[in-house]
Structures are given as structure tokens and as C-alpha cells.
Amino acid sequence: MTIQDLKNKKLILLETISGSRSFGLATENSDTDIRGVYYLPKEDFFGLNYIPQISNETNDITYYEIGRFIELLQKNNPNILEVLASSEDCIIHKDPLIDLLRTGDFLSRLCKDTFAGYAVSQIKKAKGLNKKILNPIEKERKSILDFCYILQDQGSIPLKKWLSDYGKIQEKCGLAGIDNTKGMFALFYDEKGSLDYKGIIQNEEANQVSVSSIPKEEKPVAYLFCNLDAYSTYCKDYREYWKWVSERNEDRYNVNQKHGQNYDSKNMMHTIRLLQSCDHIFKTNSLQIRVDNREELLDIKAGNWSYEAVMQKAEDLISSIEHHHSVSTLPDYPDAKKAEKILIEIREKLYH
């Protein structure tokens, strides 16, 4: 079934303009997102063709089957609560049956997890992005040799520098582990190449150093420390960074680079809005869709706020949410029996 099928068969119960236009944050370049609710023909609902959700290719237009819609309301899904609470000027079509569903019946203390919890995850994502922008990782991958050091006097020097300074090559080195230590090795050198040492690593992709069989009469020429923990962290950061580079939205990234604040300004605008919405819920026991601080939020989106200022605003809002949540009179969860009763009533009227 397609969106056009829903319209042709007059199955749509609610159709609203959502997203930035609903919040009062639209600009001349904003898309128009549509969200709605439908019901299935009786034979599909009772048969094997139950379809909980229908979207277009870009997900700019999405409709939810009435049962799925109420299920998500019960979970305090922010997007779904905002659809139900749409202002009159954003409602394209509304069946009277939708009036049986009231936003206030679904608000609960669970909103702290769904609204603020999601926002916190986006803040962590923003911090990760900030770290990636400020700390780019070279495309040429380091090897474990870059994390090895030679003990010298009361300190250490990088292994590669030691090899260069003393005119030695890693392939002629042999390592032997030192008891009761972690990452410490005695380093031996086979000047003539007759002892069949394995070298410090056997290839550039090696994820650990090699140990060799060392004749008893051989004396170590140095002691080596391999920081395997630092190498593991580097490998993880390398994979994440270049995965991010390959998947990032270049247009969005270029905008962020242009304003130079080192965070995804559009995403953080919506994160702050979501935190403000959550704060309002616990202060007033109601959900506000249209923002009161349009210019401030658009200022964040434009990158006119520093990263530190945006993070501070987010932390202040989280503190306020924690406080008002602790004294909130909202129920812990929405009333499931009441929601089920309403759903049954709607279905009975639709399929009577």
C-alpha cells in the first residue's frame, strides 16, 4: 500500500505539517515534512496484510497506522506526541475520532528518557564530532612501531628515532618478554643476520610485536616498551574517524566548516529545542510545539554560538529538567488501559 492509496481510499485520519514549520523554525530553504495517521481496510487489518507505517523514499512524509500511533504515544515518542499536539494552522486534515486522543493523557515522567535522553545522545554525538573536527587523523595508518619506545637514561625515545640514530633496522631485532611486566621487552640485535630473529613486527598490519627465540649467551642492546593500549585506542579512533569521513553529509559538513564552530549547528539547534520542550513538560504538565525563542535557536543553527556556549546551555537545561522531573506530578507512565479503551472505541467505529 502506498501514500496515494491511503488518499484514494480515504483512509487518513490525521495529516499535519511537522518539523521546523510546526516548531516555527522554518526558513526559506526548509523542507515541508508531513506526518499523519491512517487506518487499514477491514480485510487488511484482520488479515495478513497489517502495515504499521508507510513513508515516501526520503521519509519526509510518514503515516502511522492508528494502533502503531497509539503504541508510540504510550512510549512518549517525541515525534509522535508532537504530531498529536499539532497547532491548528499545521493540521491539513483531522477526523473527529482523533479528538478522542488528548496529548495530556499521554504525558508522563517517561518524557525525561525519551526527550532529554535522546537530546543527551545528540550532545555526546556533537562532542564526538567536535573531537573529530579538531583532531583529524592522517589517512596513512600508523603501525604498532609508532607506539614502541626505547628506555634511555631516565626517560624514553621513540623506537623509530632510536633505530635511525643507531643505524639499525627493525627486521634484525629480536624481542624477549620480561617476567612480571606488561609491554616490556629486552631487545637484541643480530648484526650479521644469522640468528633468525623475527623482527619487532613481521608486517605493517601486525597488531602486536613479535617475540623471538634468543640464544642464552646473547646480551640485550636496549629495553623496549610497547604501549599496546594506546595502539588499540588509535586503531579504534582511526576506524571511527575515516568511517565518519566516508559517511558524513558533505553539504552539512561544509556549512559547519564555514561557520567554524566545530559542531553540527543544525542538529544542536534541534537538540536545544528538544531539551526546552522537555523542560516545559515538567514545568507545566503540557507540551508546547511552537517555540518562543525562534531567533535564539536560529542563531545557534547559523553557528553564531560558540561550541562551549551551546554545551553550557544544554547542561543548564538538563539540570533544570532533572530538578523539575524530581518534583513532577505527572504519572510514571501513561495509562495503558485508558489508551487501549480509546483504541478499541476508534476501531469499533471505523469497522462498524
Q: Greater confidence, 125 or 304?
A: 304
d(CA 347, CA 349): 5
Chain centroid offset of residue 29 CA: 25
**pLDDT tens digits, 49-91:** 899 999 998 889 999 999 999 999 999 999 999 999 999 999 9
Q: What is the pLDDT of residue 84?
A: 97
Q: What is the pLDDT of residue 299?
A: 93
Domain 1-106+334-352 coded CATH 3.30.1050: no
**pLDDT tens digits, 214-265:** 999 999 999 999 999 999 999 998 988 888 778 766 655 555 555 555 677 8
Region 342-347: mean pLDDT is 97
CB-count exposure of residue 124 (10 Å: 0-12, 13-18, 19+): exposed
Q: What is the pLDDT of residue 321?
A: 96
CB-count exposure of residue 29 (10 Å: 0-12, 13-18, 19+): exposed
Whether the predicted pLDDT of 339 surpasses 90: yes
Q: What is the pLDDT of residue 185?
A: 97
Domain boundaries, the chain: 1-106+334-352, 110-136+249-330, 144-233
Q: Render the burial of 184-220: b for 16+ CB within 10 Å, e for the rest.
A: ebbbbbbeeeebebebbbeeeeeeebbebebeeeeeb
